[in-house]
Structure 1
């Protein structure tokens, strides 16, 4: 992972969004006029390198954006998705524009101004912006927004030419009402490369146009690198890791053959399968990403950067790789709990969960019904008043945040002065106070019972674990030599105590014979003294 990823994303976020400006703040866009204002006065000037602060021309910065650090890979495009106009069910208005779907998407081509096409198409950017194009030409894919999933096609305007030419084209598109009441999404995509940190960034700006008339702006900055191995050491470690995974997989296959169906009744079996599956998945995604990066490089070399280079599929691949990395590290870290099972106090964790699993399962069923009851209550009461309750998913997220004491009580009070505080109080009473108290009580009682029933006997496995721990502490200098020697002596005494009695049988016989000899000699001495 690249350590400069956050700084790259933070810079581009501040550079494009303009959150400190009142007029050109992308995150506060709510009307079509505000969106055009951001396009014409902020975005268009940011994607072309302009003069330096002292008036000097930007030499050797062809293709760079105005921050002078990131270069455009190919061109930027702006894609619009529209819907068909339908007749309204009421007689008040003749035509209605519904929400976007794959079935009512507009796919016809028009002349500038959305006039029905009757002549041959020209090659200008303005004419092409009113022509429907499939996703194959610009290597487009479906895009998932907050409200809808949008197809790969659309009406595309390609940002090409100098700054003055781009500004005049945007002004012309604005005059021709390229964005109107039938528009449901506008997606701006561009790919940047920062040679200073060897980092690509896929930039996407999505504005969803609702049928209610409001706009929802969204953005995404995805940094990614196509370098598979940054050093020889990393390559060697990766090869050793995969060799270990092969050995580990063979070992698990033998275990499955030996244990058969009982193998899948163990909890740690799924952890082992997860490590193996994620490791091979990471290898496959590495190969997939390498092939995709090769295709992108070849396309850029063939077109010399005079076309749009889409990193959307590469971003999806990178997301899959990140998820596999996360789960692989998660499962691998959990494996260390098996090493700690020899320690008496650390093993209380797993024993407590095993003892409380039936009670916790019953508690989870009860908690599920209570939580679903409050979920439907908050959703039905506040779905049209609070953004956090606009959907079931958002409502569930808000309730979980309330359980973590992260809530806005004024929001509920403003939405409903009477029902808001009542629902809020009931949720805290039943879920936070009662349910959470029951959960803590179940775990604490199980821990108390397990600790009480745990034997204090010092078994050999625990002795081996502590012996290894003390040796490691001595190696790193945390424990003195005489502490280790005293521990080894106590360990030898313990081992002698719990070792096989047959090994010490001859010694015990010798001790018995010596005791009998001493008893016989003492009896003879006493008999002689009585005779005298």
Structure 2
């Protein structure tokens, strides 16, 4: 009981008893506002630590070097012209395809002064990026007579090659017949994957030719393909795949160049460059991120247990809250990320091991690069949801609830308005597609029309292109669309939000103030201050009792003096017996001196 005089006990009294996974859904906080605020505050502090950890993980996997690596590869293989003056991005015919800058970009064996790099038959692009394995060229063909020629033209047109369709792929050998370039291979045989091009989605099958590790040998292989008409009327797409590795920044760059040959004739080039970090743990910073990943796993395990406990208590009503659903989404995305991280590490080790044993084979990093990109996208979405989830823990403050209250109250009005808005919006989208779709790229598909009209609302549009496509209906379309959608409908939408916000703000200002976070801090301060003041008074009373006696002090006199000052018997007995070492119910001079020293020390601690 003497510990009541100790300052260390000040902050420990009257705290709510919460356990490790105590939350506002597991604790009975409905009738206790103070407990609700305290529990929410504890949840917020734990969640802030989790948020910092996931931010370190997410940003630790990225670097500004990623952008510059991608830009360097884009400038070299897409924007640089070859000896014939043709850039990859400007390819428009099959002839242009064969005169591009591909070989000059792939094989770097000399310095700018023609001095040898001394890298044997290994190419180091830009002197820094090692070409992994050999590049691969793959084409997809369509069968002849895969479409029907009209009777009036059957005598003049001997063959018909339809637009690309997976079921109409040509799978017959052709040309020289021998070799992989002239023989069809299924997607399973070459371990390929489908690709979403500009025109359609292509399968991972086809006819492929692996190049060599030297420029001369690769040039011979390309010449053989050119001379024997490897590309013909049936060709619908040609892929060029290769990968590089930069040890300076520990980054892989997986490059896919695609030229599509539509049924209309001509060529449409596109490219996909994925810069990813597949080898994760090398530097000190990488191992720090590894530590953050372990902490992240602990947090996910913590939150899994927490959500299970909440689900057991509230059962199906648990899913009525959008915040609880968001908790589940964040946890599920995190579990998928952890599983993929393990899978990626094992897969990269196996692939690199095979490549080191056979450096002359095609290094297929496309699969890993694709899923690494999806992994990064998933982490980006998860981090976004994690930040949004902060609103869950600051909802006890009425100022922070204005956004959610406003959106919740005007949801029905916005839904009704959205029906009216999209009727008009889609009507204009169809009108624009039919009027300008044949001439204006931004209206060439119905999907593009939708995004183009959103851009018009934001002021990003090409009026001249619309005017050239239709000199009469173009201006009418533009003027009426801007008037009805921008000036009328958009302002109606803003008016709904603004009026609802004004109502919510007025109601919140008129509500009785509930216990807030600042009130909790103020109460804790006042309680601490009052307890400190009370203990100082108790110590002063004991000091007075010591000074009131002369010589030895008997227990009865000591007790009578303190009882007159309002102290309880058990406090007096505990204080006396602590210093009555011989138990004779009398404090001699030495015992009194020790008690005075102890009281002075306690008083100094309380003042500090």
TMscore range, shorter length = 0.7 to 0.9
1:290 aligns with 2:352: no
1:169-219, Cα deviation, whole Å (9 max, x unpaired): 323322222112111000000011111111111100011101000211010
Equivalent in the alignment of 2:98:
36
Q: Which runs of 5+ in 1 are unaligned?
A: 122-126, 468-483, 494-532
- Which residue, 427, 434, 437 being the options, matches 1:380? 434
Cα distance, 1:152 vs. partner? 1.7
For 2:347 and 2:512, the matched residues in 1 are separated by 59
The structure number with the bigger radius of gyration is: 2
Provide TM-score, normalisation by structure 1: 0.81
Equivalent in the alignment of 1:365:
419
Worse overlay, 339-348 or 416-425? 339-348
For 1:138 and 1:259, the matched residues in 2 are separated by 52
Equivalent in the alignment of 1:341:
395
For 2:120 and 2:457, the matched residues in 1 are separated by 52
Equivalent in the alignment of 2:593:
none
* Alignment check: 8 A CA contact 1:228 1:286 kept: no
For 2:258 and 2:365, the matched residues in 1 are separated by 16
| Pairing 1:419-438 to 2, within 5 Å after superposition | 419-438=473-492
* Alignment check: 8 A CA contact 2:121 2:213 kept: no
1:409 aligns with 2:463: yes
- Which residue, 236, 242, 245 being the options, matches 1:184? 236
The structure, 1 or 2, with the larger RCO (C-alpha pairs under 8 Å, 6+ apart) is 2
What RMSD over aligned residues (CA atoms) do the two structures have, in Å?
2.4
- Which residue, 45, 48, 52 being the options, matches 2:107? 48
Secondary structure class of the residue paired with 1:342: coil
Runs of 4+ in 1 over 6 A off after TM superposition: 489-493
Equivalent in the alignment of 2:263:
211
1:413-446, Cα deviation, whole Å (9 max, x unpaired): 1111111111111211121111110111011000
| Pairing 1:21-420 to 2, within 5 Å after superposition | 23-38=85-100, 42-60=101-119, 62-86=121-145, 88-92=149-153, 93-112=157-176, 121=178, 127-229=179-281, 231-303=286-358, 305-420=359-474
* Alignment check: 8 A CA contact 1:205 1:218 kept: yes
Equivalent in the alignment of 2:536:
none
Secondary structure class of the residue paired with 2:108: coil
Cα distance, 1:345 vs. partner? 2.4
Secondary structure class of the residue paired with 2:400: coil
Worse overlay, 168-177 or 49-58? 168-177
For 1:30 and 1:253, the matched residues in 2 are separated by 59
Cα distance, 1:61 vs. partner? 5.9
Cα distance, 1:228 vs. partner? 3.7
Closer/same/farther in 2, CA of residues 323 and 2 from structure 1, 3 Å limit: closer
How many residues were matched structurally? 459
For 2:405 and 2:255, the matched residues in 1 are separated by 49
For 2:226 and 2:365, the matched residues in 1 are separated by 28
Equivalent in the alignment of 2:568:
none
Closer/same/farther in 2, CA of residues 285 and 414 from structure 1, 3 Å limit: same
Closer/same/farther in 2, CA of residues 443 and 161 from structure 1, 3 Å limit: closer
Closer/same/farther in 2, CA of residues 419 and 20 from structure 1, 3 Å limit: farther
Cα distance, 1:291 vs. partner? 2.5
Closer/same/farther in 2, CA of residues 409 and 310 from structure 1, 3 Å limit: same
Worse overlay, 3-12 or 331-340? 331-340
Secondary structure class of the residue paired with 1:285: helix
* Alignment check: 8 A CA contact 1:192 1:200 kept: yes
Cα distance, 1:136 vs. partner? 4.2
Secondary structure class of the residue paired with 2:199: coil
Secondary structure class of the residue paired with 1:103: helix
* Alignment check: 8 A CA contact 1:30 1:214 kept: yes
Q: Which runs of 5+ in 2 are unaligned?
A: 1-60, 531-608
Provide TM-score, normalisation by structure 2: 0.72
Cα distance, 1:335 vs. partner? 1.7
Closer/same/farther in 2, CA of residues 366 and 491 from structure 1, 3 Å limit: farther
Cα distance, 1:235 vs. partner? 2.2
